[in-house]
Structure 1
Amino acid sequence: MQNKNKTVIKSKDLLTLFLIHSKLSFNEIIQLTGTPKTSVHRMLGSLEDMGFLDKDEDNLYSLGLLFLQFGQLVADRLDVREIALPVMKKLRDETEEAVNLIIKDGDEAMYVEKLDSTHPVRLYTAVGRRSPLYAGACPRIILAFFPKEEQEQYLKIVDFKAYASGTITDVDKLRLVLEETRQAGYAISKSELEDHTTAIAAPIFNHKGQVVGGLSLAGPDIRFQAERLPEFIKKVKKHAQEVSEKMGYAGDVVYK
Structure 2
Amino acid sequence: MKARTRNSSLTNALQILKSFNLEQPEWSLREIAANQNISISTAHRLLKTLEEENFIIHEKQHYKLGTSILRFTNIFIDDLDVLKGMTPYLKSLTKKTGQSAHIAMLSGKEVLYLKKEDGLIQVPLKSHIGRRNPFYATSSGQVIVAFMPDDQRLALLQQTQFIDFTTSTLTTIEQYERSFQQIRQQGVAISREELHMQFMSIAAPIFNKQNEVVASVSIAGKVKALQPNEKAFALSLKQTAEMITQFIQKYGAGSPNDIFNK
TM-score range, shorter chain: 0.5 to 0.7
From 94, 97, 102, the equivalent of 2:96 is 94
Distance 1:80 1:183, change over 3 A: farther
Alpha-carbon separation, structure 1, partners of 2:123 and 2:135: 26
Distance 1:210 1:106, change over 3 A: same
Q: 1:113 is matched by which residue type in structure 2?
A: K
Alpha-carbon separation, structure 1, partners of 2:165 and 2:240: 28
What SS does the corresponding residue of 2:195 show, helix, strand or coil?
coil
Q: Sequence identity of aligned pairs in percent? A: 30
Q: Compute the displacement of 1:135 (Å).
A: 1.4
Q: Give 1:149's aligned residue.
A: 151
| Residues 162, 168 of structure 1: 8 Å contact kept | yes
| Residues 100, 121 of structure 2: 8 Å contact kept | no
Deviation by residue 1:12-65 (Cα, 9 ceiling, x = unmatched)? xxxxxxxxxxxxxxxxxxxxxxxxxxxxxxxxxxxxxxxxxxxxxxxxxxxxxx
Aligned positions of 1:1-256 closer than 5 A: 80-226=82-228, 228-248=229-249
Provide structure 1 residue ranges, at least 5 long, that are not aligned to the other structure: 1-76, 250-256
Higher-Rg member (1/2): 1
Q: Compute the displacement of 1:80 (Å).
A: 4.2
Q: 1:152 is matched by which residue type in structure 2?
A: L
What SS does the corresponding residue of 2:133 show, helix, strand or coil?
strand
| Residues 163, 192 of structure 1: 8 Å contact kept | yes
Q: Give 2:52's aligned residue.
A: none
Q: Give 1:46's aligned residue.
A: none
Q: 1:231 is matched by which residue type in structure 2?
A: A
Alpha-carbon separation, structure 1, partners of 2:183 and 2:194: 16
What SS does the corresponding residue of 1:112 show, helix, strand or coil?
strand
TM-score (structure 1 length as normaliser):
0.63
Alpha-carbon separation, structure 2, partners of 1:168 and 1:191: 11
| Residues 189, 203 of structure 2: 8 Å contact kept | yes
Which runs of 4 or more aligned residues in structure 1 lie more than 6 Å from their structure 2 counterparts after TM superposition? none
Deviation by residue 1:52-102 (Cα, 9 ceiling, x = unmatched)? xxxxxxxxxxxxxxxxxxxxxxxxx98542232221011001111110111
What SS does the corresponding residue of 2:243 show, helix, strand or coil?
helix
Distance 1:80 1:173, change over 3 A: farther
Aligned residues: 172
What SS does the corresponding residue of 1:224 show, helix, strand or coil?
helix
Provide structure 2 residue ranges, at least 5 long, that are not aligned to the other structure: 1-78, 251-262
Alpha-carbon separation, structure 1, partners of 2:89 and 2:216: 13
Alpha-carbon separation, structure 2, partners of 1:172 and 1:144: 13
What SS does the corresponding residue of 1:90 show, helix, strand or coil?
helix
Alpha-carbon separation, structure 2, partners of 1:154 and 1:180: 19
Alpha-carbon separation, structure 2, partners of 1:194 and 1:83: 30
| Residues 110, 135 of structure 2: 8 Å contact kept | yes
Distance 1:231 1:145, change over 3 A: same
| Residues 122, 220 of structure 1: 8 Å contact kept | no
Q: Give 1:253's aligned residue.
A: none
